[in-house]
Amino acid sequence: MAALALASATVGGAAPALVVPELDGRTFDLSALRGKVVVLNFWASWCPPCRYEMPALDAFYRRYHGQGLEMIGLSVDGPHDRSEVLKVMRSFSYPAAMLYDAKVNDFSPPDVMPVTFVVDRSGVIRAKLTPGQSAVTEKDLADIVLPLLAEKPVAPASGNRGDPNAKP
């Protein structure tokens, strides 16, 4: 049996490929978001630390989405938990997807939950946040993401998310 060739999601390296349908039917394609700062949060409905930090992620997304920030919550729940994931995400404004639906997923399965990756405008992973002494906070995100948002975009994003004039 051949081993899966998964890209390493390491800080300082290029972000692995990820294409997944969002819960609302749109397609999230990480490579199409080049030119934007992207936060990827791997979570599960059964994970208390995951659920605890989601309000901070949502508040941060609502505050900075208009400044070039994209975010997605990637649920690692199984297909039978879709209704629970939909129920949880009704409380939040950032997009979400079921990871098992991914068309392309070169990220390795998370070794700890939750895990949050921050990808810069050029597609490089700049941070990997995992549970430690506390959950991810808005301050943690601000310390990492705001300097990246302040950087000049390297190229226009080919994805049109967040552009009210974009065609679907």
CB 65 within 8 A of CB 161: no
Total count of domains within the chain: 1
Sole residue written with tokens 């979570």: 43
The parent domain of residue 31 ranges over: 18-150
Q: What is the CATH number of the domain that holds 93?
A: 3.40.30.10
Report the pLDDT averaged over residues 91-112.
92
pLDDT tens for 9-66 read: 788 889 999 999 999 999 999 999 999 999 999 999 999 999 999 999 999 999 999 9
Query: Residue 90 contacts by C-beta under 8 Å, 6 or more apart in sequence?
Result: none
- HSE-up of residue 152 (Cα within 13 Å, Cβ side): 1
Q: Is residue 7 part of a domain?
A: no
Q: Is residue 10 part of a domain?
A: no
